[in-house]
């Protein structure tokens, strides 16, 4: 396929490296989002450079994913893992490295698409100093996150200020759900331009397939009532609530109930603390024979895990969007999710799954019990979920909307800075 060159975009994701394995502490939905958006837009003729921070000396500085789509790692601070709450102080170095990269290559990116508040700070500086349109995805909002966390980090005030400034002064905020728009308007600012473009999933990869053969491949008993969790180990993900729900007599009254937990890094990082904590709870509840920790699984193999499961549970305390439920739904698996954030948008209660209040293991246990007891309902919900993803959440559809947004933004830029050329 030959495409015209549509323009150059810098996708900035300081802490979410799009070229690493997904599913570990610092590699979740944002990494997947940036990578997929980059690839899809390159397919449509955009030149996409995805800038991130180098976090290990072994990482190559440039990774070419496909023609027109690269990850470029800039040096900002030590080439080592740094928790996102400690990254702010390294942003000036990242900005200098980005500017240097532009100077070395004699380019200015006319369109900068930033991800998460750390990258927003970079985008805001660039917008002040060069001819650039700025679009931004929050991925997570401090104002919402801090409401549901027990501890507030020192950086909270800075984050809230930057998020507000970004909403008010960037050219477009991309919200991923109507719930996010509501949060921005009620908790951050009533000013600024917001457009809703959801996250997506690869509907070629995540497809509805036969449960029996998926179980054969994964050596899972056909008699099992399999409940699946996929995601990072992070207290905000609510894995403890799920484990306690599985231990509940309403669920334990069924035979062969198993919980599979997929995700987690192999290193000694912070997410291991949460993993150790969950393992201890599993042991305390006497569930060792019922719970499997499968570790990090790549997208290549994840569809079999979704297809093999009867229910996928997303028990988050807070979830800005949540890729896992749409992946599960794409595979025809019904989802039980917390009634929070973007989950209220992706999962239709009673239609593609069930919504339950967060952190209430009794209520979650009732929902699991209900779906285990009703195979026909599971099947109907699975089919409805699959259809919903095809209609609203395919990467192709999402990328088409972004393509349009980028084009509009570039047109604005040319009209603003080169009015004489755009008059014709
Ligand atoms: N993921 C993965 N392997 C794993 C665990 C998770 O590839 O072992 C992926 C998962 O498929 C999804 C992403 O990590 O695409 C998690 O995104 P989500 O938006 O659900 O949560 P986040 O990590 O952004 O909080």
Nearest Cα residue to 351 out of 323, 389, 324 = 389
Q: What span, in angstroms and rounded, lies between the C-alpha atoms of 125 and 349?
A: 42
pLDDT of residue 149: 78
pLDDT of residue 422: 60
Q: 164-223 pLDDT, tens per residue?
A: 999 999 999 999 999 999 999 999 999 999 999 999 999 999 998 899 999 999 999 999
pLDDT of residue 3: 42
> For ligand 1, what atom is nearest to the CA of residue 32?
15
Name residues whose C-beta falls within 8 Å of residue 296's C-beta, 6 or more positions apart in sequence: 21, 23, 24, 262, 263, 264, 265, 266
Q: What span, in angstroms and rounded, lies between the C-alpha atoms of 195 and 170?
A: 12
Are 128 and 150 in contact by the 8 Å Cβ rule? The answer is: no
pLDDT of residue 267: 58
Q: Which residues line ligand 1 (CB under 6 A)?
A: 22-23, 28-30, 32, 230-232, 262-263, 296-297, 299, 302, 321-324, 327
User: What's the burial of 129, exposed, middle or buried (CB within 10 Å: 0-12/13-18/19+)?
Assistant: exposed
Specify the 3-state DSSP secondary structure of 20.
coil
> For ligand 1, what atom is nearest to the CA of residue 294?
8
Residues of the chain with pLDDT under 50: 1-3, 424
What letter does residue 342 receive in the DSSP assignment?
A: T
> Could you tell me the pTM of the whole model?
0.90
- CA-to-CA dists, residue 230 to 264, 309, 400, angstroms: 9, 11, 28
Which token pair is 386? Answer: 């699959």
Ligand 1 centroid – CA 323 distance (Å): 6
Which uninterrupted H or E stretch holds 314? Answer: strand 311-314
Q: What span, in angstroms and rounded, lies between the C-alpha atoms of 207 and 219?
A: 20
Ligand 1 centroid – CA 262 distance (Å): 9
Which token pair is 13? Answer: 């994701």
pLDDT of residue 1: 39
The residue contributing the CA closest to ligand 1 atom 3 is 23
Q: What span, in angstroms and rounded, lies between the C-alpha atoms of 330 and 209?
A: 10
Ligand 1 centroid – CA 21 distance (Å): 10
Q: What span, in angstroms and rounded, lies between the C-alpha atoms of 43 and 41?
A: 5
pLDDT of residue 161: 98
pLDDT of residue 21: 75
Ligand 1 centroid – CA 180 distance (Å): 19
Q: What span, in angstroms and rounded, lies between the C-alpha atoms of 84 and 77?
A: 13
pLDDT of residue 147: 87
User: What's the burial of 350, exposed, middle or buried (CB within 10 Å: 0-12/13-18/19+)?
Assistant: exposed
Ligand 1 centroid – CA 327 distance (Å): 9
The residue contributing the CA closest to ligand 1 atom 17 is 29
Task: Give, in degrees to the nearest 5, the angle at Cα 174 between 42 and 386.
Answer: 75
Domains and CATH numbers, the chain: 7-200+394-421 (3.40.50.2000), 211-392 (3.40.50.2000)
Ligand 1 centroid – CA 179 distance (Å): 20
At which residue do the structure tokens 């290549």 appear?
300
């Amino acid at each position: 396929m030959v495409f015209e060159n549509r323009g150059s975009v810098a996708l900035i994701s300081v802490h979410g490296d799009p070229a690493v394995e997904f599913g570990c502490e610092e590699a979740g939905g944002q990494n997947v989002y940036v990578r997929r958006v980059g690839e899809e837009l390159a397919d449509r003729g955009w030149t996409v450079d995805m800038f991130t921070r180098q976090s290990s000396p072994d990482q190559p500085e440039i990774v070419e994913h496909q023609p027109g789509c690269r990850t470029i790692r800039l040096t900002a601070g030590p080439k080592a893992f740094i928790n996102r709450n400690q990254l702010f102080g390294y942003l000036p170095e990242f900005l200098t490295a980005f500017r240097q990269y532009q100077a070395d290559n004699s380019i200015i990116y006319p369109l900068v698409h930033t991800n998460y508040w750390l990258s927003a700070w970079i985008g805001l500086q660039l917008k002040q100093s060069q001819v650039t349109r700025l679009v931004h995805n929050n991925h997570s909002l401090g104002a919402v996150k801090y409401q549901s966390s027990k501890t507030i980090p020192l950086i909270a005030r800075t984050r809230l200020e930057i998020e507000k400034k970004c909403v008010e002064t960037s050219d477009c905020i991309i919200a991923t759900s109507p719930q996010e728009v509501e949060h921005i308007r009620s908790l951050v600012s009533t000013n600024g331009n917001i457009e809703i473009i959801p996250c997506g999933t690869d509907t070629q990869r995540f497809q509805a397939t036969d449960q029996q053969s998926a179980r054969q491949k994964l050596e899972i008993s056909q008699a099992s009532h399999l409940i699946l969790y996929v995601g990072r180990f992070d207290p905000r993900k609510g894995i403890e609530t799920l484990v306690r729900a599985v231990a509940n007599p309403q669920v334990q009254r069924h035979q062969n109930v198993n919980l599979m937990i997929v995700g987690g890094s192999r290193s000694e990082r912070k997410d291991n603390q949460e993993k150790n904590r969950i393992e201890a709870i599993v042991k305390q509840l006497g569930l060792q024979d019922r719970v499997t920790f499968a570790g990090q699984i790549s997208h290549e193999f994840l569809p079999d895990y979704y297809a093999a499961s009867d229910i996928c549970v997303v028990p988050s305390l807070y979830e800005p969007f949540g890729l896992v439920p749409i992946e599960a739904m794409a595979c025809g698996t019904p989802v039980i999710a917390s009634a929070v954030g973007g989950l209220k948008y992706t999962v239709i209660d009673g239609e593609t799954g069930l919504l339950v209040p967060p952190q209430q293991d009794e209520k979650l246990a009732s929902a699991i019990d209900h779906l285990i007891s009703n195979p026909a309902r599971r099947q109907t919900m699975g089919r409805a979920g699959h259809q919903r993803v095809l209609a609203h959440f395919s990467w192709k559809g999402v990328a088409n909307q972004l393509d349009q947004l980028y084009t509009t933004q570039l047109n604005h830029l040319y009209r603003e800075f080169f009015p004489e050329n755009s008059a014709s």
